Amino acid sequence: MVTGASSGIGREIAKCLATKGYDLILVARREGLLRELAESLVAEHGCQADVVVADLADPRQVSMVKEMVETVDVLVNNAGYGKWGLLTEQDEDAIDGMVDVNVRALTGLSRYYGDRMVSNGGGRILNVASIAGFQPGPGMAVYCATKSYVLSFSRSLHSELRGSGVTVTCLCPGYVETGFGEVAGMNLRGEIKSWSAIPASRVALIGVKAMERGRREVIPGLLNKPVPLFGRVLPVSLQLAIVRVVLMVGRPRR
């Protein structure tokens, strides 16, 4: 099962899994894009690809997914989004939505399907976080906090399930050309995109390989790999200053 499969990294992970012979359950809000993807994967790879249309910001629809799909061998928790802006200026519904999708749905699906994987003797969970989870992010405070949660949660679950046959891998990409910036309301300059962006297809392949190897976490891109080290050695005040400058470059134009 791949959540957030209609575009971006989720779409590329679905394509990558299809090339490896996996049958798929594709979950997202946008039915047209989901069905288009499912049809192309079936035609190109001969796999089975079922579609579940659901908005994971709605707990009732998360429950619906669980009712429709009893068990899976692989769970990819990719669905998530962010919004740029000072916390005091953000819409409360947008804040709640980020927490519901990025944290609540991911946790609930991991619990539900992880339990069934343990009972079945094995399985793999791939949670998509971000390098934003390694440090605070003024200007994207809620998003960065949710990704920090995903990283910490995945590390803990990886340890809890050791020896059960179930592995948990956390994928922590940096900037990826996926349309995330448009959804977040950011306006990154071309020069930043050019030196930092990694194709979503490459990120997906790295994530799937790490998942299949049972790795705890993986950070795509050489330029992104030092980020966790910065979080350990730099004073928080300096981290905040650096992130503030980087995010201010992408501040929406008024």
Closest residue by Cα to residue 16 from 219, 205, 214, 202: 205
Write out the chain's pLDDT in tens, 254 residues: 999 999 999 999 999 999 999 999 999 999 999 999 999 999 999 999 999 999 999 999 999 999 999 999 999 999 999 998 899 999 999 999 999 999 999 999 999 999 999 999 999 999 999 999 998 888 899 999 999 999 999 999 999 999 999 999 999 999 876 554 444 444 544 444 445 678 999 999 999 999 999 999 999 988 888 777 777 777 878 777 777 777 666 555 44
CA dist 184 and 156 (Å) reads: 28
Counting every residue written for the chain, the total comes to 254
- pTM, rounded to two decimals: 0.88
CA distances from 181 to 30, 54, 139, 163, 185 (A): 18, 22, 13, 39, 6
Which of the listed CATH numbers 3.40.50.300, 1.20.1440.230, 3.40.50.720, 2.60.40.10 matches domain 2-249? 3.40.50.720
By annotation, the residues acting in catalysis are: 143
CB 184 within 8 A of CB 246: no
